[in-house]
Amino acid sequence: MYAITKSAISNSYLDLAPYLVMGGYYSSKTDFIRQQIKWFDDYHNPVITDNYGNISRFAFRDPDLIDRQLQEISVYLNTSQYMPDLTVSHEFFNILASTRWDLDMIDDAYESGKIEFPIQARMMQEEVLATSGYAPKDLRLLNLLTRRDKGEFGQIHLILIFYQYNKVYEHLIKMIQTVRPDLPIHTVNGHSKDTLRKPHDDESVYLVQYEAGGVVQRT
Q: Tell me what the mean pLDDT of segment 59-84 comes to.
A: 83
Nearest to 15 by CA among 80, 59, 72: 59
The Cα 142–Cα 145 span in angstroms is 5
* The most confident of 55-69, 76-90, 142-156, by mean pLDDT: 55-69
Helix and strand counts by DSSP (H, E) for the chain? 7, 5
The Cα 152–Cα 172 span in angstroms is 23
Characterize the bridge pairing of strands 39-40 and 46-47.
antiparallel
- Whether 38 has a pLDDT exceeding 80, the answer reads yes
Nearest to 186 by CA among 202, 89, 178: 202
CB 206 within 8 A of CB 196: yes
The Cα 136–Cα 92 span in angstroms is 10
Check residues 121 and 197 and name the one with the higher pLDDT: 121
Band the pLDDT of 9: cuts 50, 70, 90.
Answer: very low
**14-26 pLDDT, tens digit each:** 888 888 998 899 9
* The amino acid at 57: R
**In the chain, where the domains are located:** 13-73, 94-132, 144-219
The full DSSP string for 50-68 is -TTS-B-GGGBS-HHHHHH
The Cα 49–Cα 219 span in angstroms is 11
Q: How far is CA 129 from CA 44, 64, 109, in A?
A: 19, 35, 17
Q: How far apart are the first and last CA of the chain?
A: 41
**122-162 pLDDT, tens digit each:** 888 878 877 777 888 888 888 888 888 888 877 667 788 88
